[in-house]
A and B are shown apart, each in its own frame.
Chain A
Amino acid sequence: MSSLPPAKIIVLGLGNDICGDDGIGIAAVRILRGMLDDACIAVEESSEAGLALVEILEGYDRALILDSIRTGTCPPGTIIEMDTAQFRRVIAPSPHYAGLPEVLDLAERLELRFPSDIRVLAMEVEDPYSIREGLTPCVAEALPRFVERARSILAELRDST
């Protein structure tokens, strides 16, 4: 039996809930919040960009980030999984200021206590540019699958050693 304390896990929904499909990450964590009952898992949402992610993720051991994505290469509602190894190859001009890859590099460089395992679960969206509430139909339809996938990833993160 290990006497190590359980890993601290964060699931972070990113986006803007008054900006159409951009709010998919927020919508997902709001559902997850009602489903999860695990003291080890913090459920957070943020509409902030860039360096704010450093402050949010600092101090956790593992993280799952839920966000929208626009590749234009797959239909809206498609769920895309990335780990940070993949993500780092995309040196991103993200609206998140420096972008998640740069945030990760920064945290590493500054020797911050940062999650060693960061997964990104993103959904291809249709319209993240209109100021309005609610998701487009394809994205809304895919939301339950998105949430389910997030749950199973969280279970993996919790059970991995």
Chain B
Amino acid sequence: MKSNLKFVSGDEAVALGVRLARPHVISAYPITPQTIVVERLADFVEDGSLKAEYMHVESEHSAMAAAMGVSSVGARAFTATSSQGLLHMAECVHYASGARFPIVMMNANRSIAVPWSIYGDQRDSLGLLDSGWIQVYVEDAQEALDMMIQAYKVAEHPEVMTPFMVNLDGFVLTHTYEPVEVPDQKQVDDFLPMYQSTNKMSMDEPKSLCFSTSPADNQEFKYMQHKAMEGSVDIIREVDAEFGQVFGRYYHGMTESYRCEDAEAVLMTLGSVTGTVRTVVDMLRAEGHKVGVFKIRYMRPFPQDEVKELGKLGSRVGVLEKNISFGNEGTVFTNVNSVFSTLEKRVESKNYVGGLGGRDITKEDIRGIFMDLLSKEPFTERVEFIGMGCDTNE
């Protein structure tokens, strides 16, 4: 296969992936740090390398509403957002999944005001876990590009018909340059045929979409939506495996486990911090410590089988996340423990919250977490904020 390496940012990798997926219409509204995605796509439409309609909408709410309009006639839609923008469109995010429109959206994970911050954490998308969208969190620019292609294939699968959100950590991923292999268009076209659906308004067979139901029917629609999302786990695994065969890059489906088999301490991660944790794992392994990292790729559907298998290994498990559900704990932690609770043997787990508002999570922070997990001392607290600076009592 001819190599086509490009040195691009995460945002640019997303744009390249979207171009390969050939959406019919892009509805775009800018927000830092997503902007470069919609800028590059505008360039591609202008220079003719992407045959799509580029729609300037006046808000994120309209970006998703327009994307739903596009999908409602059976065309392929793309949009991208971040943070405040994702929350502004929240009504439409739920709407799209209920309507079973397989829209693909890139989200640049960014903190939520107040305090205002343009920097990354994952509170935006995790706040919409219950919106009925498939959510994947990628680790680097290559995975970002590849997932744009996989996303459409999974979302548009007749048994799935569920919108798909690809999450990139703001700045750490969106604005970091990396060498990226750009797949061949012909191969992508074969892998991802044009969208075909009966869930659309058509002139041959007119339909009323996005209707209302009485209490006599509503729950059945929600049940079907739930079953489709659950069933998407198999499709996600199949599509990833097929992608690996065609393009030579395989992402291990729902999760990726690294040196966990014999580990005494495992740290679970989401997104770009995984790379740093992997480096620390190698360093600690070289020092003789039995540690591993478990990357959660999909938050919805949740990787129940994989997390359960991890829980059976008997390691102490830390969950590192850039998120907090105020007054409780990190939501990733809640989801993980919910699966652990189904196991006969209790898994000792602890939540590490860090990186909020773009704060760096350093190798030292991660080393500290592993030492805490390896200490075998009973945990003194369930949730620990790592990398704290000033005294917050003042």
Q: Decide whether A and B assemble into one complex.
A: no
